[in-house]
Amino acid sequence: MNDTTREWFAKAEADCRTAERELAARESPNFDAVCFHAQQCVEKTMKGILLARGAVPPRTHDLIELAKLVRELCPGWSAPLEDLRFLIRAAAIYRYPGESADHAEAEEALTIGMRLKASLTALRRE
């Protein structure tokens, strides 16, 4: 594994830890940030997998597009489309004024993010 690939995985892990810390915050938790960092964790893990498998990840935040590319290189892997859509929506819509995530939405985003990260991380060991 090269340095760039390791860095993608390290950044993904940092996003995961940030989401976990923010969800657990006792004072003024930022649920919007939990959603954003959960999506970022999955996106960066996918890009790390692509690099580890010899592909150049595209400059996109679209988890559905990235999942298709990961599946091409790892045919046994899959991710529920509804989970990918939830993270895409949660990361985008809550970054701007007009809507805010609540605790339940943030918790769901983190749960989905951790589940997808675990399934992707298993690909690193193959």
Predicted pLDDT of residue 125: 58
pTM of the model: 0.96
Could you give the CA distance from residue 40 to residue 19 in angstroms, rounded to a whole number?
10
Burial of 11 (0-12, 13-18, 19+ CB in 10 A): middle
Could you give the CA distance from residue 74 to residue 53 in angstroms, rounded to a whole number?
9
Domains of the chain (ranges plus CATH)?
3-124 (1.20.120.330)
Predicted pLDDT of residue 74: 96
**pLDDT beneath 50, residues of the chain:** 126
For residues 93 and 100, the answer to whether their CB atoms sit within 8 Å is no
Predicted pLDDT of residue 83: 98
- Cβ count within 10 A of residue 100: 13
